Amino acid sequence: MGSAKLDGQVQSDWRWLIAAYLFLAGVGGGAYLAGVVADLAGGAEWMLVSKIGVFLSVPCVLIGTFFLLADLGTPTHAWRVWMKPGTSWIARGTIIIVIFMILAAVHTAFWIWPFAGPLEVNESARHFLGILGALFAFLTVIYTGLLLGYSQPIALWRTALLPVLFFVSAISTGLMGIMIIAQSMGIAVAQLDLMENIDAVILVFEVFVLAVYVYNAYRTLESRPSAQRILSGPVASYFWLGVVVCGLAIPLILELMGRHGAILTIGALLGLFGGLCLRFTILVGGIYTPMRAAGFEFARIHRPKDPIPAMGKLPPS
């Protein structure tokens, strides 16, 4: 059917900056969730881990929003972003994120720094705040998937699997963030081992979700060009090297080997990098579905960035 050029126009408005935003929102949300779970389920010995998770969330999400701001065409107007929460996932999302950041900031401030203590004392208040914060952390993480899913023309994104994938990746990258810091703070080996094992399980699950996601994308006619672009096209190196090798395979192997120290750090860093690559791959893997009408398939021709004409020579003047 037609020529390869008819594979449609590539999404090019959202690239690294948005990928970083989605990624950091994921890490922040994931770390917070992990932290709260550790607090709720782990008790006192997991306090450090829990604190690291909560502590990580605000800076990650905040830096993430800076990336979002940087991507805006007119950042000075950014305050308008909340004008239409009724219909826009950007409006909804930023509200969610702000609420989450406020909650997480309160959580941090009154538990860890600079007003450490009050929440340490009042455990039930902390748990309550944690659960409330976790809800918004969850929404933050899920929202990054829903945001993309709202795009009608990019079939790769229009699937319920995307929020799931982003959620799983958020938890695992959140955990990795926690592990790096926890290890450097000298946490117990057993705890590290446990976290590694949990993360490995999550990674296996992520592999599964990712496989289903990509397989689905390939199977669906509308998104097949996207899948091809990711699997064997120009984005393939980000996918195979970034996501699969760095983000999943190496961390998984290292975690299963159960080594600590520098190796753990490297594995987790690669895992984080993989999380960023995942967002990027999915963003730039997006291809606008060709238009079908009257039996024809029309694509907005993808024009690889034309070589910018060289200066050549100007006629003497």
Partner 1 sequence: MALTNASKVKEDVWIPTCCGQCYCMCGIKVRRQDGVVTEVEGNPDAPTGRGKICVKGLASPHLLYDPYRVNYPLKRTNPEKGIGVDPKFVRISWEEAMDLIVAKMKACQEKDSRGLYFQATTTQASEIRYGVTGFMRAFGTPNYWVSGGGLHCGNGAHFMNGIMHVAWSIIPDFAHCRLPLNFGCSKGHGAGHVAVQNATQAADARAWGSRTITFDPMQSAQASKAHEWVPIRVGTDGAMALGLVNVLLNDLGVWDAEYLKYKTNGPYLVRPSDGRYMRDKETKKPLVWDLVDKRPKVHNDPSVTRVQYEDQAHDVALLGEYEVDGVQCRPGFELLKEHVKKYTPEYVEGITFVPASTIRRIGKQIAENAEIGATVTIETDEGPKKIPKRPIAAHFFRGSQGHVNSGWTCLSIDMINHMVGAADTWGGAMGLGAAVGAGYKPTGKPYQIPYPDNDGLLMCRAWVYDHVPYPLRKPKPPTRLDLHDMFPTSIYNAFTIMNPKWFEMLDVFKIPYRPDIMINFGSNSVMTMGNAEIVTENFLKKFKFIFSFQLYITEFEEAVADIVLPDTCFLERYTPAVSFPSTFSHPTGEDDWGWTIRQPVIEPMYERRDFNVVMMDISKRLGILHKYYKALNDVTVVRYGGAMSDEYKLCEDGSEEHTWEEVVDRMLKDRFGPEHGLEHVRKKGVFTWPKRKEDVYWKWFNPSRVPIYFEYFIDAGEQITEICRQFDPEKKYIGLDWSVFKPLADWYPCPTHTEKNPEFDLHAFYWRAVTQTNSMTQQNPYLDEMSQEDTIVFGIQMHSRTAAGKGIKEGDLVWVENPEGKKIKGWVTLSEGIEPSHLAFAAILGHWGEYMPIAKGKGAFFNDLVMMDEPHTDPLTLNQDICCRVKIYKA
Partner 2 sequence: MARYGMVIDLNRCYGCYACAMACKVANRTPPGVFWARVLRGEMGVFPNSVRQALPVLCNQCEEPDCMKVCPTGATYKTDDGIVRVDKDKCIGCAYCVIACPYGARYKVDDWKSYFPEGLPLSPYEEHTKQYWEQKSGLGVSTKCDFCIDRRAEGKEPACVQACSAKARVFGDLDDPESEISYLIKTKRGFVLRPEVGTEPKVYYLPPR
* Interacting residue ranges for partner 1, rule: CB under 8 A: 2-6, 301, 303, 306-307, 309-317
Q: How far apart are CA 10 and CA 1, in angstroms?
A: 19
Q: Which residues pair with 292 in a beta bridge?
A: 297
Is the peptide bond preceding residue 290 cis, with omega within 30 degrees of 0? no
Single residue of 45, 120, 193, 297 touching partner 2 by CB under 8 A:
297
Does 263 participate in binding partner 2 (rule CB under 8 A)?
no
Q: Indicate which of partner 1, partner 2, none lies near residue 316 (CB less than 5 to 8 Å, by partner kind).
A: partner 1
Minimum Å gap between C-beta 232 and partner 1 is: 13
Q: How far apart are CA 188 and CA 203, in angstroms?
A: 22
Minimum Å gap between C-beta 99 and partner 2 is: 16
Q: Which is nearer to partner 2, 80 or 259 (CB)?
A: 80
Widest CA span in the chain = 81
Single residue of 77, 313, 315, 316 touching partner 2 by CB under 8 A:
77
- Closest alpha carbon to 148 in 110, 107, 93, 99: 93
Q: Which is nearer to partner 2, 41 or 308 (CB)?
A: 308
User: In 10 A of CB 261, how many CB atoms?
Assistant: 9
User: Which 3 state secondary structure label does DSSP give 280?
Assistant: helix
- Closest alpha carbon to 173 in 21, 38, 25: 25
Type of residue numbered 200: A
Single residue of 74, 190, 304, 313 touching partner 2 by CB under 8 A:
74
The site string for partner 2 over 136-175 (x = CB under 8 A, - otherwise) reads -----------x--xxxxx---------------------
Minimum Å gap between C-beta 87 and partner 2 is: 4
Q: Indicate which of partner 2, partner 1, none lies near residue 261 (CB less than 5 to 8 Å, by partner kind).
A: none
Q: What is the DSSP letter of 287?
A: B
